[in-house]
Structure 1
Amino acid sequence: MWLKLCLMLVFFAIPLCHSDSVMNMIQAERYPAEKHTLFTKDGYILTVYRIPNMSASKYNRKVVLFMHGMTSSCPAFLTFGRHTSAAYKMSDAGYDVWLLCARGTTYSRRHIRMDPKDPKFWDFSWHEIGVYDIPAAIDYVLDHTNQTKLTYIGHSQGVTAFYVTLSELPEYNDKITIAHLMTPPVILKHNHPMVPRSMDGVHAVAAWFRNNGIYEVLSHSGATMDIITAVSQFCMRPTGRDVCRSFVYILFGPSNLYFDELLATILNHIPGGASYKQFIHYAQIAAAQRFQRYHHGIEKNMQIYGTPEPPEYDLSKVRANIHIMHGTNDWLTPSDNVPILANAMGRYPVAISKFPGYNHIDFAYGSNLDMVHRKIFKVQKLFY
């Protein structure tokens, strides 16, 4: 009887009956926690976690939706506990907090028809996250909280996909009070030497993935986790710490991460899994120097788009209040790209905040998150 009740609740998209590691994280910090299930228009079943604020009137409730970056997942905003992580700080400030786990990640690996073992399950990039996942979450959260607008906080891919949402579905601009967008990989010019410059090379890499039957990458299971465990153990050693820091610097820029204290905690949830097409789509917009839809090849582009090249996302349709946050040491999304992005929008952002010395992942896992949070709250005061 209890099992039947749980199954009914799952399929009617209300809080689930059992807890998991994310629920345990939140409850261990003595916050109330809920786990919700929602469905996208293309059939993916997503998990969204909630730290509810029941003290405010249901008609005057401040709501915030968090969205993580690629290969990460919603625990990114919970990892360091109540005194350091953004989700808890927003809850302490009186917000009703929601954390979305994008399709394909550890906590959103379901579909109404397909299994993750099916290659078709992984036939998506961050475009689909932008046109399906984020709109579904916004609508679900607003409906559940009886509100008309919410605050959005996104990191990395959570920014890219959000720009897709607002440009492809411009009516969602009206559902955003303010969006705090950290490290925006949208305009990929002036980039790291490792970022590809040749579209032919990108297509060759995509073909290699398909020909070898690799559709999911960096999942939080199997051989990947064996490697992650070994890396974690190596990085915690005095002799390995500097090597690991150097590797992070090469990928993301110089940083000061929590290697000593919380690396093992971070790696409990990262990597969270992704489709190979998410990586390929980023490589494409870097090579093309255009913020555009997925490049399937000329023949398939003609079938899907009616043009040999993918259409660009129309950033002039982005009219929500935007707060861009970027670091001067970010090698994936260099500071020089930020004014280009601002000029491409229909209006200038509400604010552009520069963080000296921060790299791409410092906004989620750095040693000075408090400065980031103070800036968010300072901008929030303009709207609440």
Structure 2
Amino acid sequence: MIGVYEFLPNSEFLTLVGGVFCKDDAITQKLCGNVLFLMCGFNQDQLNTTLLPVIMGHLPAGSSTNQLLHYAQGINSAKYRQFSYGMIKNLATYGSLTPPDYDLSKITAPVFLHWSDNDWMADTKDVRELQSKLPNVKGSIRVPLATFNHLDYMWAIDVKPLLYDTVLENMKKF
């Protein structure tokens, strides 16, 4: 589960397990969907269960252990700042005991924030706070489905009309 450099790496074993336990005729298929919902928010109506073996074959998408530590540091500090190596290494790396904040004012590209009420990985208050800190937010757009969750940004049955069409329209403006 936790490697030296990678957390939750995808493996052939997990792909095989997803293919066996999540396929259409498996009695455990509903369990596969519920495992995903526990992490991302529940939305049974937008889950194409036939795709579960494909989804499980790509999840979990591994990330570096430092990436997850950095995410946790951001939650604990409630700040957008660089990775903390600990006070001694921070002093050597950054010249201060704590890492510097990111200068979000330097982000000059137009930004559209797309968010949903049921995304357990991106709370709406965090989206609003990010919006207040970014200098060039052109829109903050709530996905118009109350049950839309984090997984749905990629896999929802109706993701095109709910999200992608709006994303593409906004991209055409710039």
TM-score bracket for the superposition, by shorter chain length: 0.7 to 0.9
Instruction: Say what the alpha-carbon RMSD is for the aligned residues.
Output: 2.0
Shift of 1:381: 3.7
Q: Provide the C-alpha distance between the structure 2 equivalents of 1:369 and 1:304, rounded to a whole number of angstroms.
A: 43
Aligned to 2:39: 251
User: Residue 254 of structure 1 aligns to which amino acid in structure 2?
Assistant: F
> Map of 1:126-141 to 2, 5 A cutoff?
none
Specify the alignment match of 2:149 in structure 1. 359
Q: Equivalent residue for 1:203?
A: none
Corresponding residue number in structure 2 for 1:341: 130
Counterpart residue number, 1:278: 67
- 1:226 matches 2:13: yes
User: What is the CA–CA distance in structure 1 between the aligned matches of 2:66 and 2:118, rounded to whole Å?
Assistant: 27
Where does residue 320 of structure 1 map in the other structure? 109
Q: After TM superposition, give the deviation of residue 362 of structure 1 in Å.
A: 0.9
2:111 touches 2:139 (CA, 8 Å); kept in 1? yes
Residue 315 of structure 1 and its aligned partner are, at CA, apart by 1.1
Match of 2:92 in 1: 303
User: What is the alpha-carbon distance in structure 1 between the residues aligned to residue 60 and residue 31 of structure 2?
Assistant: 19
Q: Is the 8 A contact 2:6 2:63 kept in 1?
A: yes
1:40-87 deviations in Å (ceiling 9; x for gaps): xxxxxxxxxxxxxxxxxxxxxxxxxxxxxxxxxxxxxxxxxxxxxxxx
Structure 1 moving runs of 4+ over 6 Å: none
For 1:377, which of 164, 168, 173 is the aligned residue?
168
Is the 2:33–2:52 contact (alpha carbons within 8 Å) kept by the matching residues of 1? Answer: no
Larger Rg: 1
Pick closer, same or farther for the CA change 1:270–1:249 going to 2, 3 Å: closer
Deviation, 1:227, is 3.1
Q: 1:230-281 deviations in whole A, cap 9, x for unaligned?
A: 144212245323222222222111123222x222233444444332111111
Aligned-partner Cα distance in 2 for 1:350–1:264:
37
Equivalences, count: 167
Name the structure where helix makes up a greater proportion of residues.
2
The answer to whether the 8 A contact 2:7-2:62 is kept is yes
Identity across matched positions, percent:
26
What does the per-residue CA deviation read over 1:270-309, in whole Å, with 9 as the maximum and x for residues that have no partner?
4443321111111111111111111111111111011111
Match in the other structure for 2:30: 242
What is the SS of the residue equivalent to 2:28?
helix
Q: Which runs of 5+ in 2 are unaligned?
A: none
Say if 1:269 and 1:244 are closer, same or farther in 2 by CA, change over 3 A: closer
